[in-house]
């Protein structure tokens, strides 16, 4: 699914979840109407991209309905529990790095996530090693916009760079604190730091690469 734009993926997932609601494969006009789109031409371009990706095909009916291919029917929708939770890229445990989203889905044990919305990040860096969080570990993050002092959070700094650290919050400043005695706490004005989630689980591979 990585070759699709967000709009194309939205259209595909709509078709995947709603084809049973149509007596026949829906036409471009029906999809436009259902999605509230104004431009039939723009939709046609997205459908062409989905066709090239092997996910949809145009039926031979006079109305030119859009139907899913067999390849598409094997795809698990993100709201399907068996599809896992989203892996959205890398997080710095060290110097903040740019937050990059490259969404795919990973199945994980129920025991290391919560019932709330969660996502997975892969750690880059060594600032959390004294907490047992190492480079290339995967961390499970419960999506939250607030945290208690002392929790390990995903912090977005100045809406540009993300890091994984302990957090201490005060009226005049926010501290992002590493678990590495060779590193110092990072100090910011409260408005510079946006909490994007709290650490709830962790995974590690011991396979030599």
Alpha carbons 100 and 88: distance in angstroms, whole number: 7
Provide the β-strand partners of residue 78: none
In the predicted model, what is the mean pLDDT of the chain? Answer: 83
Mark whether 165 is an active-site residue. Answer: yes
pLDDT at 72 over 90: no
CB 119 within 8 Å of CB 88: yes
Report which of residues 88 and 170 the model is more confident about.
170
107 contacts: CB under 8 Å, gap ≥ 6: 82, 83, 84
Cα-based distances in Å from 95 to 2, 31, 92: 28, 46, 6
Which domains, and CATH codes, for the chain? 6-73 (1.10.10.10), 84-203 (2.10.109.10)
pLDDT at 202: 96
pLDDT at 20: 67
Give Cα 185 to chain centroid, integer Å. 28
Instruction: Determine which one of 165, 184, 187, 205 is catalytic.
Output: 165
Alpha carbons 175 and 118: distance in angstroms, whole number: 24
Instruction: Determine which one of 7, 33, 62, 127 is catalytic.
Output: 127
Residue 156 in tokens: 């977005």
According to DSSP, the β-strands at 138-142 and 118-124 are antiparallel
DSSP string, 111-155: GGS-SS-EEEEEEESSTTGGGT--TT-EEEEE--S---TT-EEEE
Give Cα 147 to chain centroid, integer Å. 20
Q: What is the pLDDT of residues 45-66, one digit of tens each?
A: 888 888 888 888 887 655 568 8
């Amino acid at each position: 699914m990585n070759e699709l734009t967000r709009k194309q993926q939205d259209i595909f997932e709509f078709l995947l979840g709603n084809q049973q609601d149509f007596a026949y494969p829906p036409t471009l006009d029906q999809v436009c109407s259902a999605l509230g789109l104004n431009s039939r031409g723009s939709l046609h371009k997205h459908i062409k991209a989905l066709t090239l990706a092997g996910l949809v095909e145009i039926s031979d009916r006079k109305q030119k309905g859009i139907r899913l291919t067999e390849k598409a029917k094997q795809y698990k929708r993100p709201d399907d529990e068996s599809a896992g939770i989203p892996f959205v890229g890398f997080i710095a445990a060290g110097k903040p790095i740019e937050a990059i989203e490259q969404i795919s889905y990973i199945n994980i044990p129920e025991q290391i996530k919560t019932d709330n919305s969660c996502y997975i990040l892969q750690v880059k860096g060594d600032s959390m090693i004294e907490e047992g969080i190492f480079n290339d570990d995967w961390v499970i993050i419960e999506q939250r916009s607030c945290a208690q002092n002392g929790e390990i959070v995903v912090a977005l700094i100045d809406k540009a760079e993300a890091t994984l650290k302990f957090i201490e919050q005060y009226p005049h400043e926010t501290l992002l604190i590493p678990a590495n005695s060779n590193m110092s706490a990072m100090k910011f004005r409260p408005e510079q730091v946006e909490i994007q989630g709290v650490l709830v689980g962790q995974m590690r591979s011991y396979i030599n690469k």
